[in-house]
A and B are shown apart, each in its own frame.
Chain A
Amino acid sequence: RKEVEQDPGPFNVPEGATVAFNCTYSNSASQSFFWYRQDCRKEPKLLMSVYSSGNEDGRFTAQLNRASQYISLLIRDSKLSDSATYLCVVNGPRRDDMRFGAGTRLTVKP
């Protein structure tokens, strides 16, 4: 079993749609969680951290469920520019190590 698993995708949605991605992790000791965004042939960039209480940044909402060991990302009012691969990142087994999921590809269409 991979340490971090994501929805396989791809997700193809129209502009203005709401889309949600889930991610599960295997290391129950993980303490830090992130969503990164990676555009085609570009490097990953931090989208947002995920806090225990859940957090929101504009159209993006991240949630953490420690009991079930999953995190989610919700994107409201999708824009064409949201088209990218979204990577779930979880720390562990060492505190400093970061483990990436395989990514979920999102395409927003006009």
Chain B
Amino acid sequence: GAGVSQSPRYKVAKRGQDVALRCDPISGHVSLFWYQQALGQGPEFLTYFQNEAQLDKSGLPSDRFFAERPEGSVSTLKIQRTQQEDSAVYLCASSLRGGPYEQFFGPGTRLTVL
């Protein structure tokens, strides 16, 4: 595809429900990042993959958050037993290679936990 795509674009979940957010990076991009953006704040780093390897997951707020990228392309961010404080926009970004290079962002998934 032309850019990074994410699905669903909007998700409403009841507290305690599990959710799965999908990211399709730009084809051939090695690096993939997940961020959480609360209203009025900048993106907060969650986790980072280089190909299928999860190199850094230090930003995941709790063990309810889990991310994977099993074949080095599509990635899924899973949140178990959602809480109201998980409500945010979840952004995925990819870059061509490992290292501090330009990141291309998807449109995000807006998660609302009731």
Chain A residues close to B by CB (< 8 Å): 4, 6, 31-32, 34, 42-46, 49, 87, 91, 94-103
Contact = CB atoms under 8 A, between A and B. Distances in A.
Contacts of A101: 42
Interface string B21-59: 000000000010101000011111100101000011000
Interface string B91-114: 100000011101101111000000
B72 to A, nearest CB: 15
B45 A100 contact: yes
B103 A98 contact: yes
A41 to B, nearest CB: 9
B75 to A, nearest CB: 15
Interface residues of B, number: 23
A32 B100 contact: yes
A22 B15 CA distance: 39
Contacts of A4: 42
Contacts of B45: 97-100
B111 to A, nearest CB: 15
Given A32-B100, A96-B31, A96-B98, A103 B106 contact: no
A74 to B, nearest CB: 20
Given A43-B108, A100-B45, A94 B103 contact: no
A98 B41 contact: no
A91 B43 CA distance: 14
17 contacts: A6-B42, A43-B107, A44-B43, A44-B103, A91-B100, A96-B31, A96-B50, A96-B55, A96-B56, A96-B98, A96-B100, A98-B100, A100-B35, A100-B43, A100-B45, A102-B41, A103-B42
